[in-house]
Chains A and B, each alone.
Chain A
Amino acid sequence: MAETTPELQTNRFFERPTTRRALLAAAVTAAAGGAGAAVVGVASRSGGESTSPAGDDGEAGEGLPPQAVETPMPDLERPIEDPKRWAAHLLRRAGWGGTEAEIAEFAGLGRDEAVDRLLNFEAVDNAALDARIAREAFNLTTPGRGLDGKRPPLIRDMQRWWLTRMAYTARPLEERMTYLWHGLLTSQVSQVGVQAAKQMVRQNELFRAHALGQYDELLQAVSKDPAMMLYLNTIESTKEHPNENYARELMELFSMGEGNYTEDDVRESARAFTGWRLTRQSRERPPEGLSERERAEWLDQMWAAWEPEFRLDPRLHDSGNKTFLGQTGNFGGEDVVRVILEQPATGRFITRRLFSDLAYRDPEEQTIDGLVEVWEASGHSVREVVRAILASDEFASMRAYRSLVRSPVEFAVGAVRGLGIETNWPTIEQSASGMDQRLFEPPSVAGWPGGETWLSSGTFFGRVNFLDAFLYPRGRPIAIPALADQPTPEAMVDAALRILVDDDVAQGSRESLYAFAATVPGGPERAAAVAYLVLASPEYQLV
């Protein structure tokens, strides 16, 4: 089978010449400042039969032997046929999954309109979320437990804060992109330091502000982000002793990928970041006569008040010439980032990453070619690349459908959103460890490896035991509005399957669920039992 793959790929583009062109057309319109998505959507809706307004690109439709047209489309290249299923897929990937009403609503929209609605989130009112966040009064600033010992732990509250945002935002793609950047432009709160943990909140707000912006602005900004500068040792780097940590990860993980630069490039660019510093905390000392606890609290408050700003210390900066990726100049860190963003490797690396996170892993090179054109034509606009991905045939194909393993965050947030559960995530910290994903604490600078690594025997128990704890706080079933009013066990199972797994389960599973649901008393008890089983099902472990 493996030997025939290239041929299938050729046929695929031959048979459906619109796919690649659709992406290219998006690039053209995006570059012209127009609505690129319209072209993608119209072109791709009906697979092989549709035509593209962008016209024939001359390489797919002509000059190939006609028998290629006869080759049946491989199963995975088929479009997701049911519009509801496609809508649910879109809402999972571009957000955290939809409610039954949202799925129905998006299924009724055209492909481009649906994608547009997610993309143009700035216009969406998020006041309800803001009010909820204000009400919860999470501790997002101050380490330590306070003089009365009652202050909520900072890092736990940071996790609860972000999960609350994900679960109740009216702008799911904004949180999705924030999460994607957190996994790519990674920092770990344990390394930034518990005292400075609030800098991770600031970094998170940076990702949110740049969720769909120009990548150049994001990469420049994150290079000067306090948490990042603390995490990758930028603030310790001097002219005499440049620290290579940031320079290396910037190229390896945040832009070009390994193999596109040399060790000399690492060393030279590290020199450009020397002298990059943050403004200090207050130089005040704790007043005399404080008890040990008061002194600790005084210091905690000092950390909470710290609002570091970027500064360049000219005495520590190496202002000599650097030769980096073939260019020579008296480069500063900003110049290094700029040169990196000019590299073709960066466009390929970032578009591949976006596609792999949003659609499926191991995309064909041609797919990336199309995205790189969007990237270039739009001046490195994340919004346009994401638009091209979400509206593409590839995204709407069975190759993408259920092709990714659901991360623990997607697992938990999808349940809350889909089922309309009210929670402020009281026990999430422990459960997150069991499932092996703690927000603000990815396992390394490379982020979460994802994919099949989410599933092991240990995390299998982590997931089902999260459900056991979450669905039965203090031993009593949680309220599940989306299931509560279903009159029969069968109706309740059917509703859960529609909302959570696109009504698409293995043969026999529905009957097994009916049988079990019938043994549980109706009302909240049955709703929690049904939710547990559908959320624990193999189908729900995938997105």
Chain B
Amino acid sequence: MLTRRDFVKGGVALVSIGTTAQSLLKGAVAFAAQNSATLVDPENKKTLVLVQLAGGNDGLNTVVPASDPAYRSARGTLGIAEEAVLPLAEGFGLHPSLVGMKGLWDAGKLAVVRGVGYPGQNYSHFKSMAIWQAGDPKMELDNGWLGRTLEKLESEEHDPFLGFNIGASTPDEMRSPRIAVPSVRNPEDYGVKVGGKLGDPAHARTATMLKLYEQYPSSSPYGVLLETTAETAMSSSKLLQEAASAYTPAVEYPDSSFGSGLSVLAEAIVGDLGMRVGHITLGGFDTHNNQATGHTGLMETLDGGLTAFYQDLAAHGKADDVLVLTWSEFGRRVEENANGGTDHGAGSVLFALGNGVQAGLYGDAPDLSALVDNGNVPYTTDFRRVYATVIERWLGVPHAELLGQQWEQLGFLAA
């Protein structure tokens, strides 16, 4: 019988999402399979930061086809005037609030992928999110696309920050039965407190508590999950506190949870914690009503946060090593609704941002005169082409196995 210690000795922290020894055995098989793969470049230290725009971002009002008559007629009140958009190319312009992003476009650091979607668009937030997170519209692949990727990136050293999430719990795209991903919302609460203050991990009460986790058998219910959660928490807390003491932001981040979350990601990058994939979520994009105000606020938050993040990394000499990629589960319907909002849609846009990006517009522009599913933007670019590009050209891992098939990559990263 394999024990949890056997796995830990293998240099890998394991998290079982199941309750039985069966899932441990599955983990062992996956571990053996992964160890035989030697295609990953150990020198590649590049970091991907994934930004989830949760709720379904209105791609049409983010990267605006301002001169398209079909757009103008469908967006009677929500349409953004041609003269108001920040022009990019081919008649497309950025939402007027994306001022910092426009600057990055002008500097050649921003790529836009248009018409992103997948066959058989699902209009449920949860299903569509799950599809993007799995990287598989058929939902046949195991775990999340980044969870599978992290398994390939896992090294003998086992960096607890290999994957790093800003938020309370592990996002589904980072789920893997073998990799525990630290989730941090507020670094000041990220540690065991004694008497209300972050305490010494060697404090007797804390030490006894950790002993209970060590003694809990991996064959017991949630055994691996419970122990690795506690272990990951303790080790990552220590590292993060060290990184925090060595990091001073070079810019002022916007006063929002998105802004402060990005600064924690920057702290981990600047502190060389070994992060290869970071994740942060900006929510509120389900703009069924009063979109003019709500979406503008979201664009400001996004722009302020990402611009500060880029500038901070650049000031710390890290901008060459970090790629930011946004995604959202779907776009919005082309025609606005009666409540000054838009309903769930299909194809949308995403951004890739960083010094490593080859700026420009990628993916064909969707034809707004040939809508699908009663008024939705047809997709032109399968989102898995974006994933394939990032997995292979940025993280340095062959993508076909991770995505279940070979995809034609896009040019926003150099081959």
Flag if A458 contacts B25 (CB, 8 Å).
no
| A475 vs B195: C-alpha distance when bound (angstroms) | 6
**Count, chain B residues at interface, CB 8 A:** 61
Tell me if A509 is interfacial: C-beta within 8 Å of chain B.
Answer: yes
Flag if B124 contacts A465 (CB, 8 Å).
no
| Of B126, B167, B212, the contact of A538 (CB 8 Å cutoff) | B212
Tell me if A512 is interfacial: C-beta within 8 Å of chain B.
Answer: yes
Tell me if A513 is interfacial: C-beta within 8 Å of chain B.
Answer: yes
| A267 vs B376: C-alpha distance when bound (angstroms) | 14
| A513 vs B183: C-alpha distance when bound (angstroms) | 29
| A238 vs B338: C-alpha distance when bound (angstroms) | 8
| A507 vs B232: C-alpha distance when bound (angstroms) | 23
| Of B20, B196, B213, B233, the contact of A461 (CB 8 Å cutoff) | B233
Flag if A468 contacts B227 (CB, 8 Å).
no
Given A455-B229, A516-B204, A243 contacting B337 (CB threshold 8 A): yes
Tell me if A446 is interfacial: C-beta within 8 Å of chain B.
Answer: yes
25 A-B pairs with C-beta separation under 8 A: A233-B339, A244-B344, A405-B222, A445-B125, A446-B125, A455-B222, A457-B233, A457-B236, A458-B183, A460-B233, A461-B190, A461-B191, A461-B233, A464-B192, A468-B196, A469-B196, A472-B195, A506-B212, A506-B216, A512-B208, A512-B212, A529-B205, A538-B213, A538-B220, A542-B221
- Enumerate chain B residues within 8 angstroms of A533, measured Cβ to Cβ: 205, 208-209, 212
Tell me if A1 is interfacial: C-beta within 8 Å of chain B.
Answer: yes
Flag if A436 contacts B169 (CB, 8 Å).
yes
Per-position binary interface string of chain B over residues 34-45, scored 1 when its CB falls under 8 Å from any chain A CB and 0 otherwise: 000000000000
Flag if A519 contacts B204 (CB, 8 Å).
yes
- Enumerate chain A residues within 8 angstroms of B66, measured Cβ to Cβ: none
Q: A50 to chain B: closest CB distance in Å? A: 27
Best-surrounded residue of A460, A515, A519 (most CB of chain B within 10 A): A460
- Enumerate chain A residues within 8 angstroms of B17, measured Cβ to Cβ: 452
- Enumerate chain A residues within 8 angstroms of B215, measured Cβ to Cβ: 506-509, 512
Tell me if A462 is interfacial: C-beta within 8 Å of chain B.
Answer: yes
Tell me if A537 is interfacial: C-beta within 8 Å of chain B.
Answer: yes
| Main secondary structure on A side of the interface with B | helix
| A244 vs B338: C-alpha distance when bound (angstroms) | 12
Flag if B338 contacts A453 (CB, 8 Å).
no
Tell me if B123 is interfacial: C-beta within 8 Å of chain A.
Answer: yes
Flag if A461 contacts B189 (CB, 8 Å).
yes
Per-position binary interface string of chain A over residues 437-448, scored 1 when its CB falls under 8 Å from any chain B CB and 0 otherwise: 000000011100
Flag if A537 contacts B192 (CB, 8 Å).
no
- Enumerate chain B residues within 8 angstroms of A233, measured Cβ to Cβ: 288-289, 339
Q: Please name the 4 residue pairs, one residue from A and one from B, whose CB atoms are nearest each other, closest first.
A: A241-B338, A457-B233, A436-B168, A458-B183
| Of A461, A468, A539, the contact of B237 (CB 8 Å cutoff) | A461
Tell me if B405 is interfacial: C-beta within 8 Å of chain A.
Answer: no
- Enumerate chain B residues within 8 angstroms of A472, measured Cβ to Cβ: 195-196
Tell me if B106 is interfacial: C-beta within 8 Å of chain A.
Answer: no
Given A241-B337, A537-B212, A457 contacting B196 (CB threshold 8 A): no
Number of contacts between A and B (CB, 8 Å)? Answer: 176
- Enumerate chain B residues within 8 angstroms of A452, measured Cβ to Cβ: 17, 222, 225
Flag if A248 contacts B124 (CB, 8 Å).
yes
| A444 vs B126: C-alpha distance when bound (angstroms) | 9
Tell me if B73 is interfacial: C-beta within 8 Å of chain A.
Answer: no
Given A453-B170, A458-B168, A538-B213, A465 contacting B343 (CB threshold 8 A): no
Per-position binary interface string of chain B over residues 173-215, scored 1 when its CB falls under 8 Å from any chain A CB and 0 otherwise: 0000000111111000111111110000000110011011101
Tell me if B245 is interfacial: C-beta within 8 Å of chain A.
Answer: no
- Enumerate chain A residues within 8 angstroms of B343, measured Cβ to Cβ: 243-245
B residues with a Cβ closer than 8 A to A are 17, 19-20, 22, 25, 123-127, 165, 167-170, 180-185, 189-196, 204-205, 208-209, 211-213, 215-217, 220-223, 225-227, 229-230, 232-233, 236-237, 288-289, 337-339, 343-344, 373-374
Per-position binary interface string of chain A over residues 512-536, scored 1 when its CB falls under 8 Å from any chain B CB and 0 otherwise: 1101100100000000010011001
Tell me if A364 is interfacial: C-beta within 8 Å of chain B.
Answer: no
Tell me if A424 is interfacial: C-beta within 8 Å of chain B.
Answer: no
Tell me if A454 is interfacial: C-beta within 8 Å of chain B.
Answer: yes
Best-surrounded residue of B181, B192, B205 (most CB of chain A within 10 A): B205
Besides A402-B221, A456-B165, 5 more A-B contacts (Cβ < 8 Å) are A446-B125, A468-B193, A509-B212, A538-B220, A541-B226
Flag if B374 contacts A456 (CB, 8 Å).
no
- Enumerate chain A residues within 8 angstroms of B193, measured Cβ to Cβ: 461, 464-465, 468-469
- Enumerate chain B residues within 8 angstroms of A539, measured Cβ to Cβ: 216
| A466 vs B169: C-alpha distance when bound (angstroms) | 17
| A512 vs B220: C-alpha distance when bound (angstroms) | 19
- Enumerate chain A residues within 8 angstroms of B373, measured Cβ to Cβ: 263
Flag if A457 contacts B184 (CB, 8 Å).
yes
Per-position binary interface string of chain A over residues 267-280, scored 1 when its CB falls under 8 Å from any chain B CB and 0 otherwise: 10000000000000
- Enumerate chain B residues within 8 angstroms of A532, measured Cβ to Cβ: 205, 209
- Enumerate chain A residues within 8 angstroms of B221, measured Cβ to Cβ: 401-403, 542
| Of A76, A245, A457, A506, the contact of B183 (CB 8 Å cutoff) | A457
- Enumerate chain A residues within 8 angstroms of B216, measured Cβ to Cβ: 506, 509, 537-539
| A516 vs B124: C-alpha distance when bound (angstroms) | 51
- Enumerate chain A residues within 8 angstroms of B196, measured Cβ to Cβ: 468-469, 472, 475
Tell me if A240 is interfacial: C-beta within 8 Å of chain B.
Answer: yes
| A210 vs B306: C-alpha distance when bound (angstroms) | 47
Flag if B126 contacts A245 (CB, 8 Å).
no
Best-surrounded residue of A237, A244, A405, A458 (most CB of chain B within 10 A): A458
Residue of A nearest to B19 (CB): A403
Residue of A nearest to B20 (CB): A76
Flag if B170 contacts A456 (CB, 8 Å).
yes
Flag if A536 contacts B374 (CB, 8 Å).
no
| A252 vs B337: C-alpha distance when bound (angstroms) | 21
Q: A284 to chain B: closest CB distance in Å? A: 25
| Of B25, B223, B289, the contact of A236 (CB 8 Å cutoff) | B289
| A131 vs B288: C-alpha distance when bound (angstroms) | 43
Flag if B185 contacts A248 (CB, 8 Å).
no
| Of A1, A456, A461, A509, the contact of B192 (CB 8 Å cutoff) | A461
Tell me if A217 is interfacial: C-beta within 8 Å of chain B.
Answer: no
| A244 vs B343: C-alpha distance when bound (angstroms) | 8
Flag if A236 contacts B185 (CB, 8 Å).
no
| Of B25, B169, B220, the contact of A456 (CB 8 Å cutoff) | B169
Residue of B nearest to A233 (CB): B288
| A538 vs B221: C-alpha distance when bound (angstroms) | 10
| A184 vs B288: C-alpha distance when bound (angstroms) | 21
Q: B106 to chain A: closest CB distance in Å? A: 37
Residue of A nearest to B121 (CB): A263
Q: B40 to chain A: closest CB distance in Å? A: 25
- Enumerate chain A residues within 8 angstroms of B25, measured Cβ to Cβ: 1
- Enumerate chain B residues within 8 angstroms of A238, measured Cβ to Cβ: 338
| Of B194, B208, B222, the contact of A542 (CB 8 Å cutoff) | B222
- Enumerate chain B residues within 8 angstroms of A515, measured Cβ to Cβ: 208
Q: B363 to chain A: closest CB distance in Å? A: 25
Flag if B169 contacts A516 (CB, 8 Å).
no
| A108 vs B59: C-alpha distance when bound (angstroms) | 62
Flag if A513 contacts B208 (CB, 8 Å).
yes
Residue of A nearest to B18 (CB): A452
| Of B19, B182, B194, the contact of A457 (CB 8 Å cutoff) | B182
- Enumerate chain B residues within 8 angstroms of A252, measured Cβ to Cβ: 124, 126
Q: B123 to chain A: closest CB distance in Å? A: 7
Q: A196 to chain B: closest CB distance in Å? A: 15
| A541 vs B216: C-alpha distance when bound (angstroms) | 12
Residue of B nearest to A361 (CB): B19
Tell me if A2 is interfacial: C-beta within 8 Å of chain B.
Answer: yes
Flag if A263 contacts B126 (CB, 8 Å).
no
Per-position binary interface string of chain A over residues 11-42, scored 1 when its CB falls under 8 Å from any chain B CB and 0 otherwise: 00000000000000000000000000000000
| A539 vs B213: C-alpha distance when bound (angstroms) | 9
| A227 vs B184: C-alpha distance when bound (angstroms) | 32
- Enumerate chain B residues within 8 angstroms of A446, measured Cβ to Cβ: 125-126
- Enumerate chain B residues within 8 angstroms of A267, measured Cβ to Cβ: 374
| A236 vs B289: C-alpha distance when bound (angstroms) | 9
- Enumerate chain B residues within 8 angstroms of A506, measured Cβ to Cβ: 212, 215-217, 220
Best-surrounded residue of A1, A248, A461 (most CB of chain B within 10 A): A461
